Amino acid sequence: MSQGQLILLSLALLLPVPPVAAEQTTDYTLEISNSEQQLLARFPIHQGNWCMHWKHSVTGIAVQDCYRTENQQMLLDHSWQPDFAAGLGHFEGRGTLTSHPEGGYLIKDIDEPVAENRFWLRAGAESVGHTLVSNDKQLNLSQLAAGQRLQIHLLTNAQTDN
């Protein structure tokens, strides 16, 4: 090896090695539309995971229904219900019922696919506070459109660019 090649090799060894690219995760967005199909909001979700926080309209108890995305399919993952008020509860074959460390009931491993990655929700009054939560972001649907029928639709960010 020539002296020039040794100098180049020595300099190359001093250069920082670029980090290996982290495994890319597909980013997702929830689109919220009204019954006339008008887009009201886009809500970016962290790694395909998000929850709907709300208060039962009769008892006022706080409920959390949490979703995950697997192979670009939205799945109802688990639900935390402090009490089994009207319309809440567990039934055989739909997840596993356990106690939640903070009280109430955790229905885990529901793994229920959401057809076409979309569902309809009538946003409750502001006291109900239907709120989308993902990581440190929140979107209160009750403040946005209380009493309205809303469609929640999961899209990949590639789909939202179209």
pLDDT in tens, 31-81: 999 999 999 999 999 899 999 998 877 777 788 899 999 999 999 998 887
More confident residue, 67 or 98: 67
Burial class (CB in 10 A: 0-12, 13-18, 19+), 67: buried
Interatomic CA distance for residues 116 and 48, integer angstroms:
15
Least confident of 12-16, 23-27, 59-63, 70-74: 12-16
Cα-flanking dihedrals φ and ψ of residue 144, to 5°?
-75, -40
pTM value? 0.77
Residues 6+ apart with CB under 8 A from 39: 31, 32, 33
**Highest-scoring range by mean pLDDT, 1-10, 11-20, 93-102, 116-125:** 116-125
Q: How far is CA 58 from CA 30, 84, 87, 124, 136, in A?
A: 28, 12, 10, 11, 28
Tell me the β-bridge partners of 156.
28
Least confident of 7-16, 20-29, 48-57, 132-141: 7-16
Q: pLDDT at residue 96 above 80?
A: no
Mean of per-residue pLDDT scores for the chain: 79
pLDDT of residue 3: 46
Q: Count Cα atoms within 13 angstroms, Cβ side, for 12.
A: 6
Pick the closest to residue 31 from 77, 74, 78, 76 (CA basis): 74
pLDDT of residue 69: 95
pLDDT of residue 15: 38
What is the C-alpha end-to-end distance of the chain, expressed in Å? 55
